[in-house]
Amino acid sequence: MKIAPSLLAADFLNLGKEIEKINASEADFLHLDVMDGVFVPNISFGFPVLRGVAKACQKPLDVHMMTVEPEKWISKVRDLGAAIMNVHQEACLHLYSTVQHIHEAGMKAGVTLNPATPVSTLEDIISELDLVLLMSVEPGFGGQPFIRHTLEKITKLIELRERCGSKAIIEIDGGVNEKTGAELAACGADMLVAGSYVFGSDDLNAAIKRLKDV
Ligand code: DX5
Ligand code: ZN
């Protein structure tokens, strides 16, 4: 299982130290939650902070854009050196072009679905995607309880992926811990985001290892 700790749950007064811990850990990616206070009712961090984080972080970056018009930020995300740019289906009026532009910028393209957005809405784009990110909480805040319906969505997404000949990997974000992680793994998730479970633990790398082994 690939693990992407979410920086949203880190100690922002000690970001440098938190990133050193991530660098020394077995995390596969660092997940960065960008919020604009419009698409979601919260604001996290913007590009001045992200540039510092990107400089210090040795793990590939998985950027999750929770903003309206995420296509406006493609070149800025590329300049961070990000590996993956995730945009919300609900935020993109012209999703096909946005995915093309992410690819042209040299990044892997991920499309994210809110809990109430059906996986069937990806039928005409999934063959173009490197990744689908299913939200297992409403986006905007860490520390919320896992929405169990996500497990059924993974099964539907695997069916859609096979039918459309897509190679998109399945990433899950929200309420991930050892217990929900094991259930997600059993359903076929490929990658888990975890904020509070990883940064709230006394031993960050031990928590990451437990998730890797679910
Ligand atoms: C929520 C963010 C998540 C968040 C997850 O909008 O997309 O990445 O950090 O936090 P936990 O793992 O605490 O649910
Ligand atoms: Zn996220």
The 10s digit of each residue's pLDDT in 15-56 is 999 999 999 999 999 999 999 999 999 999 999 999 999 999
Mean local confidence (pLDDT), 53-64: 98
Catalytic residue among 28, 33, 62, 130: 33
Catalytic residue among 28, 36, 130, 173: 173
Q: Is 203 a catalytic residue?
A: no
- pTM here? 0.98
Determine the pLDDT at residue 204: 98
- Cβ pair 94, 74 in contact under 8 A: no
Structure tokens at 4: 């992407």
Instruction: Give the whole-angstrom CA distance, residue 136 versus residue 173.
Output: 6
The 10s digit of each residue's pLDDT in 165-196 is 999 999 999 999 999 999 999 999 999 999 99
**In the chain, alpha helices (H):** 15-23, 47-56, 74-79, 95-104, 150-163, 178-187, 196-199, 204-212
Average pLDDT, the chain: 98
- Cβ pair 181, 192 in contact under 8 A: yes
Instruction: Give the whole-angstrom CA distance, residue 47 versus residue 82.
Output: 12
DSSP 36: B
Instruction: Give the whole-angstrom CA distance, residue 66 versus residue 18.
Output: 23
Q: How confident is the model at residue 135 (pLDDT cuts 50, 70, 90)?
A: very high
Q: Among candidates 19, 25, 90, which has minimal Cα distance to 51?
A: 19
Nearest C-alpha to atom 4 of ligand 1 is from which residue?
A: 142
Determine the pLDDT at residue 118: 98
3-class secondary-structure state, position 65: strand
Ligand 1 pocket residue status of 195, Cβ below 6 Å: yes
